[in-house]
Each structure stands twice: as C-alpha cells, then as structure tokens.
Amino acid sequence: MAATNRVRALVGYITTDNSDEAAVWGQRYLLLVYGLVVLGLVFVFSSSFPLAGRPTPGHGDAYLYLKSQLKFAGIGLVAMMVVSYLSPTLIARLSRPGLLIGLALMGLAIVWGRSVGASRCWVWGFQPSEFAKVAYVAFCATCLARGPVNWRNRRTVIVPIAIATAAMVLLLVEQSDQGMAMLVLMLALAIVLLGGARLRYVAATGVGLAGIGLGLAATKPYVWTRILAWLNPGDYLQGPGYHIYNMLIALARGGVVGTGLGMSPDKWKNLPVPHTDSIFCVIGGELGLWGGLGVLVLMVLLTAWAFKIGQVSGSRLGWFLAAAVGMSLTLQALVNIAVATSSIPVTGLTLPFISAGGSSLISSMMAAGVVLSVARHSHPIRQDRQ
C-alpha cells in the first residue's frame, strides 16, 4: 500500500458519494476561519491599544491597529471567497505562474524593498513572501498529485519541488528572513512525507538541513545571538534574552484562568511587538492556560478539517491541495506558539489569522480559500481519481 493511502486510512478515507459531506465540512472550516479572524480582531485591539493610544507621531488613536486589521480582514474575506470559487484544477494551473511572480517580487524586495528589523522583505507596502508561500504550497501539492514521491517520479515530482524549495529558501535567506526560510523547509519535508516519501529519508534530510542551517547561522552574528539567547536568556538580558523572559512572564502571569480580557499588564511596555509576534503571550496572559490551549486546538483543527475535506473531495488533486495548505497554516501557528513558549529560538513568524498585519492575514485567508475551493468543487470519489 502506498504511503499516501496509509495516511488516508489513518483518518478514515470514505469511498461513497460524499459531495454533500464535503459541503458540510467546508461550512465548518469556513466558520473556523471566521472564528479565528474574530478572535484576532479582539486580541489585536487588546494587545495594541497601549501602543496605538500613545501621543506620539503616527499614533494617538487607540483603535489604529484595529481599524487597519478590520480593513485587511475585509480584503482577505473577498480574496478568500474569490479563491474558493476557483476550481482546484485552475488553482493548480495558476500555482506555477503565481510562484514565479512571488519569487520575482521577493527578489525585488531585496534590491528595492523596505527593511523591517533585520529583514529586507517588504515592497510597495506588502510582504511578497507571504503570498509566494501560498503559491509554493499549492505548486507542491500539484506536483504530488502527479504521483507518489519516489525515484521513478523524480522529474515530475521530486525535482520541481526541490527547485521551488531551493528558490524560496535562497531568496528568504538573502532577505535575512531566516524564520520564514525555516518554515518553508519544514513545509517541504512535511509535504514530501505526505506524498509518500519514506520517513527515514525525510528524517535524515531534516537532520542534514538542520546541521547546514546551524552552520549558516554561525556565520550571521544576529542569528547566532538569537540561538545563544534562547539557550541562555539570562546572559542576554540587554538583547533578545529580555524578550524571551518577558514572553514567558506574560504567559506565567495568566496562570490557569488568566488576568481577564484586556488586563495583561505586560503589553504596556515589556512585550516585544505584542500585536504581532507576541500576540499569543497576550492571549495566554489574559485567557490563561485554558485560553492558550483553546487557540492551539483551533489551529490543529485547521489541518484536521482540511484533511477531512481532502479525503471526501473525490480528487487526488483536491486531497493534496487541502491537506498541504491546511497543514501549512497549522505548522506556522505551531512555530509561533513554540517561540512564545521558548520552545525554539525567536523566528519572527506571525500567528495565522490572529496576528496584526495585512500580508499575513490576507495570505492566510487566501490559503483557507484553497481548502474551501476543494470543498466547493468536490464530487463522488468513484467518478474522479484525479
């Protein structure tokens, strides 16, 4: 039995007429996305009003970031619904040119873009890598639909995925966006495992890439400092260690039930960018352990329900599109939460649907639109295996 079939069997692959079932799961997935966006709006305001309300240039309005996030949520909603009406076949056809355009814009950001922190990844007011990531995942899923990941399919499956991954990672490293580069490599490993690659080969590749990554990090002082600060935050209290300590303090202050909505004191001064990278710390501080676990469960459902939609779609392409895109959203969320809990070094990745930021929110909703497209265009499995 192929590895892909084993994955399907683990979560209950259905072999009957199930287009109605796909519609039901699509509705549930849509409600899940809506819920996460609303949760994000609540906590973008809760985490940002201390900064936004300061009488400083560019601020003075406590609702500044909330208004911006509402605008981007509206744009994201339109983008999500447009994508959901595209057929999975059309999305597959658009993934290659979409990825090429995204890579070109990422290159443009390097030579002509705007720097945020140490990264030079912004051009014309948006972050191209966020949208290129969606096209990249859709492109890889399209490759997987051609056949299992094995040596016989190296030209149609392995080589295209490897080239796309290398292009994404090289540009991201050049942008000094190591966090996104790490996420793309993790996605690549997860995607080929989903496509039937043997676990031992994927694990060995992951170990090798981790070793190469550490070697490259050692050549970049600010990246290496982040790693050392993660290992010994007390030695770097005047730098990244200060942020790590305060993220953990914010979570610990919340305890089991939290300090109450809007009541976390850490967002006023101590937390780094509380409305973006550290927003999970605000959630944990105000809603407590149960609130943090609730967000984690919702993020895991992004993959579980996407898998279900892919299973009942009646299409090999639909299965890989839904599974890969849904998995990418959850994986990014897990990385963000791992940073907030000091499980891994600081990466700078946002929490999908929740963190403030137009590029992150719109691209996440477009990715959700791909999953909804699979649900909308599903049909009985017996009629179509492609």
**Considering the domain boundaries, does residue 28 fall inside one?**
no
Cβ neighbours of residue 55 closer than 8 Å, sequence gap 6 or more: none
Q: In this structure, are residues 380 and 314 in contact, taking their beta carbons and an 8 Å threshold? A: yes
**Considering the domain boundaries, does residue 131 fall inside one?**
yes
Question: pLDDT by residue (tens digit) across 14-48?
Answer: 333 345 788 889 999 999 999 999 999 999 999 99
pLDDT for res 380: 54
Question: pLDDT by residue (tens digit) across 228-284?
Answer: 888 888 777 777 788 888 899 999 999 999 999 988 898 888 888 899 889 999 999
**296, two tokens:** 């984690």
Averaged pLDDT, 299-326: 93
d(CA 51, CA 65): 9
**Considering the domain boundaries, does residue 3 fall inside one?**
no
**Considering the domain boundaries, does residue 354 fall inside one?**
yes
Range(s) of the domain holding residue 142: 35-53+63-383
| Cα-based distances in Å from 302 to 94, 323, 335, 345 | 23, 10, 15, 24
Query: Is the pLDDT score of 10 beyond 70?
Result: no
Query: Is the pLDDT score of 382 beyond 90?
Result: no
**Considering the domain boundaries, does residue 15 fall inside one?**
no
Residue 78's pLDDT band, with cuts at 50, 70 and 90, is very high
pLDDT for res 14: 32
pLDDT for res 336: 94
Question: To the nearest whole percent, how much of the chain has pLDDT over 70?
Answer: 91
Query: Is the pLDDT score of 6 beyond 50?
Result: no
Averaged pLDDT, 180-196: 92
Q: In this structure, are residues 250 and 278 in contact, taking their beta carbons and an 8 Å threshold? A: yes
Burial class (CB in 10 A: 0-12, 13-18, 19+), 83: buried
Count: domains in the chain: 1
d(CA 250, CA 236): 18
**Considering the domain boundaries, does residue 148 fall inside one?**
yes
**Considering the domain boundaries, does residue 8 fall inside one?**
no
pLDDT for res 19: 57
Pick the more confident residue, 125 or 88.
88
**Considering the domain boundaries, does residue 99 fall inside one?**
yes
